[in-house]
Copies of this chain bind each other. A is one copy, B any other.
Amino acid sequence: MTDTVLSSATKEVVIGFDRPFVIIGERINPTGRKLLAAEMKEGDYSRVKSDTLAQIAAGAQMLDVNAGIPLADEPRILAEAIQLVQSLTDAPLSIDSSIVAALQAGLEVYKGKALVNSVTGEEDRLETVLPLVKKHGAAVVAISNDETGISEDPDVRFEVAKKIVQRAQDYGISPSDVVVDPLVMPVGAINDAGRQVLRLIRRLREELKVNTTCGASNFSFGLPNRHGMNASFLSMAIGAGMTSAITNPLHEPEMAAVLGANTVMGVDPNCTEWIRKYREPAAEGEEGRRGGRRRRRNA
């Protein structure tokens, strides 16, 4: 039973064993989104705003915020984006950057306990990111690669994760505040990627007893029907013990897979969430019956 508690000024979200899976919305990220990148660089956060509202409406419990724009003032932009997002939603945030100064700027304006995304097993990352995480009382995503790159051997990735957890403890950060990303590889390139990562997720949960997260959609890279493949992968990763994912909550097949997996795992008491989402409007009263299949207004 490991709980990672994240918070905004007014709301807590817990990533944990035997709890509903936590979806961290991935959309606020200019990587590969030219228009968003150009707008954020100019101080136009209208799309950040709409992405915030849409992801929360779609069921994300947390949001990842990234401002990685080439040749831009990333620390300032990230801090501004975080302040805007926190003014729009009480969902806790993941502060996402590969630049330590940007993580620092984000943490300084953040209200609550953030998830810092991320630290790797590389020495220089460990030595700069972990003190920052400790100073701000945050939690951190630990990516299981190091100076030697990403090993295809899940047991090597396990050892890297273990090293990060131990080093975090040296800095006074509890293992429950380290959320390990086992690194999801594309199955179209590495045929054994699924089996590898399921095995690693199971070991991280049973042996290292940490929470886990991943960029789930990477699994289906290059394949047709990516949503279908992501759905199977997410359900199976949850079955193996994964407790959160950084993914796109606007994709219905993936969200259905997560809700279904929650029910299979016994963390949707009386199937309440599943029934709330999928019951027929006709069963809800006269209006629904007369109007046929309508979208529910408060869904």
Contacts and interface: CB of A to CB of B under 8 A. Distances in A.
Contacts of A275: 223-224
Given A225-B278, A266-B195, A260 B239 contact: no
Nearest to A280: B224
Interface in A239-280: 239-240, 256-257, 259-261, 263-266, 269-271, 274-275, 277-280
Contacts of A280: 224
B194 A265 contact: yes
Copies held by the complex: 2
A187 interface: yes
Contacts of A256: 225, 228, 231-232
Contacts of A187: 263-264, 271
B224 A279 contact: yes
A61 interface: no
A148 interface: no
A187 B261 CA distance: 12
Contacts of A269: 191
A271 B236 contact: no
A123 interface: no
A229 interface: yes
A235 interface: yes
A152 interface: no
A255 to B, nearest CB: 10
Tier of interface size on chain A:
35 or more
A187 B193 CA distance: 30
Contacts of A228: 256, 260, 278
A205 to B, nearest CB: 14
A239 B219 CA distance: 16
B239 A236 contact: yes
Contacts of A188: 271
Given A228-B260, A274-B223, A279-B224, A191 B233 contact: no
A218 to B, nearest CB: 13
A261 B239 contact: no
A44 interface: no
Nearest to A283: B224
Interface in A146-197: 187-188, 191-195
A224 B256 CA distance: 12
A93 interface: no
B260 A229 contact: yes
Nearest 9 pairs between A and B by C-beta? A232-B260, A194-B264, A225-B278, A236-B239, A224-B278, A235-B235, A232-B235, A195-B266, A239-B239
19 contacts: A188-B271, A191-B266, A192-B266, A198-B239, A198-B264, A223-B275, A224-B275, A224-B279, A224-B280, A225-B277, A228-B256, A231-B257, A231-B260, A232-B235, A232-B261, A233-B260, A235-B236, A235-B239, A236-B264
